Chains A and B, each alone.
Chain A
């Protein structure tokens, strides 16, 4: 089983995790920029964080046979701190990097006016740089937050297929499916979404536009949840092809819209797919 985790925060994980992920079939991942648990107070610490997502973390991942790409953004939680606002000025320089395959995580935490502004500014940056967007939906008041998210995305003029709306559940999946955006589900040990509910959602909405991630980070989470979903799909009667679509092809298709995905096995010249280098990967 070949797995692409489209949302995981490896900066907070150990090399043991990388090893276990490889053993479970994970060969590629995207690490979106997010909150680190402890608030940051200046743009300089974001620059260092972004540099890590583009330098040290891909290097670490490569030692364990895993391709690492990232998404870059000012997250909604820290968008509320005026000291972090200058991070928006750093973004154009980072969004030009080869390893950046999306803008993210953007979206809402508490739906404040500051979050509105920062969300909209970053959707405009995504359009400017031709990048897809990974949108986080709030933990609290999720249905209202998701509804508002979809309105803002619509107003931005970005084509819905360039937008992945993440952390969905039974309450919010339907409206995202109707919008034409991609549906993201974060499968956690106890909260948000579990493996069995995930199977029911795949039965209901089909495998075409769904991405499953572990969203593992510094909190209680499990980087092998993607594999657990794959196993549960097979046990429930989904085909190997269905599993491949959800756990590999869909993330490749979504992030491949950046033209910057590099999944080639080695440095040799590789087949070029719309700017992406996908030798062993599936050209969708």
Chain B
């Protein structure tokens, strides 16, 4: 889930990450000082073809070294997240998927906080496989709707295969009606969700025939 980052690091970067992992294994609290320094120590360039950056992968990798699980892990991650700048917050969110088995639901407060922000990077990152699998249905639907509303592309959002239910399709269709009534563009991202539920789709396209033509 976390792309291998070591091949992209310089010698100094590799040494830093090795030492940081060892420190965190010996003393989880050490992560508080190491986490903000990851970008300066290892770089911030892109990891080609992954959509990740070096600092993001280094931070997520560092979290997997934490010798904790359950509530204790959740609390430390929340502390890192809540006192983190945006890059650090993204690092915590990126680490959740790999930690799912050890965390249980203890990482959900982080996902919920990210979804409450207005920063589209955080909103998108909250819907990795961890958030997508563990958010209750109502919260998941609201999160997907918020993505469409704020312009976060749904192709990075996980869980739509299994969780895009009729109610979410209904919410998307209503959103399309609202936009159409306001004379504004309807985001293309609503269609894959609406199309999963032919009766919702049929109702919407009968009502607003002009919408369907371009989109289908």
CB under 8 Å from chain B, chain A span 80-101: 93, 96-99
Instruction: Please choose the segment from B33-41, B64-72, B101-109, B206-214 that sits at the chain A interface, where 4 or more of its residues have CB less than 8 A away.
Output: B33-41
Interface size class of B (residues with CB under 8 A): 20 to 34
Majority SS at the chain A contact face:
loop
Contact status A55-B119, CB under 8 Å: yes
Contact status B40-A99, CB under 8 Å: no
**Alpha-carbon gap, A259 to B41, bound state (A):** 12
Contact status B83-A98, CB under 8 Å: no
Interface string of A165-177 (1 = CB under 8 A from B): 0000000000000
Majority SS at the chain B contact face:
helix
CB under 8 Å from chain A, chain B span 69-94: 82-83, 85-89
Contact status B119-A98, CB under 8 Å: no
Contact status B45-A268, CB under 8 Å: yes
Contact status B36-A268, CB under 8 Å: no
Q: Would you give 27 A-B contacts (Cβ < 8 Å), ordered by A? A: A47-B83, A51-B82, A51-B83, A54-B85, A55-B86, A55-B89, A55-B119, A56-B119, A59-B86, A59-B119, A93-B32, A93-B83, A96-B33, A96-B36, A96-B37, A97-B88, A98-B36, A98-B85, A98-B87, A259-B40, A260-B40, A267-B44, A267-B46, A268-B46, A269-B43, A269-B45, A269-B46
**Alpha-carbon gap, A54 to B85, bound state (A):** 5
Number of chain A residues close to chain B: CB under 8 A: 19
Using CB atoms and an 8 Å cutoff, list the residues of chain B in contact with chain A. Answer: 32-33, 36-37, 39-40, 43-46, 53, 82-83, 85-89, 117-119, 121
A58 near B: Cβ within 8 Å?
yes
Contacts of B53 in A (CB 8 A): 267
Contacts of A47 in B (CB 8 A): 83
**Alpha-carbon gap, A277 to B40, bound state (A):** 11
A275 near B: Cβ within 8 Å?
yes
Return B33 CB to nearest CB of chain A, in Å: 7
Given known pairs A51-B83, A55-B89, the reply for A97 and B36 (CB within 8 Å) is: yes
**Alpha-carbon gap, A56 to B117, bound state (A):** 9
Given known pairs A97-B36, A267-B53, A275-B40, the reply for A55 and B85 (CB within 8 Å) is: yes
Contacts of A59 in B (CB 8 A): 86, 119, 121
Contacts of A93 in B (CB 8 A): 32, 36, 83
Interface string of A239-259 (1 = CB under 8 A from B): 000000000000000000001
Residue among A55, A259, A267 with the highest chain B CB neighbour number at 10 A = A55
Contact status A98-B39, CB under 8 Å: yes
**Alpha-carbon gap, A71 to B86, bound state (A):** 16
Contacts of A267 in B (CB 8 A): 44-46, 53
**Alpha-carbon gap, A268 to B117, bound state (A):** 26
Given known pairs A59-B119, A98-B40, A275-B40, the reply for A54 and B86 (CB within 8 Å) is: yes
**Alpha-carbon gap, A268 to B48, bound state (A):** 11
Using CB atoms, name the residue of chain B closest to A92.
B33
Return B61 CB to nearest CB of chain A, in Å: 18
Contacts of B89 in A (CB 8 A): 55
Return A20 CB to nearest CB of chain B, in Å: 22
Contacts of B33 in A (CB 8 A): 96
Given contacts A51-B82, A96-B37, 12 further A-B contacts (CB under 8 A): A47-B83, A55-B85, A56-B118, A59-B119, A93-B32, A96-B33, A97-B85, A98-B40, A267-B44, A267-B45, A268-B46, A269-B45
Contacts of B117 in A (CB 8 A): 56
Q: Which residue of B37, B43, B85 is within 8 Å of A99 (Cβ)?
A: B85
**Alpha-carbon gap, A47 to B83, bound state (A):** 8
Contact status A58-B44, CB under 8 Å: no
Contacts of A55 in B (CB 8 A): 85-86, 89, 119
**Alpha-carbon gap, A93 to B44, bound state (A):** 21
Contacts of B83 in A (CB 8 A): 47, 51, 93
CB under 8 Å from chain B, chain A span 5-24: none
Contacts of B121 in A (CB 8 A): 59
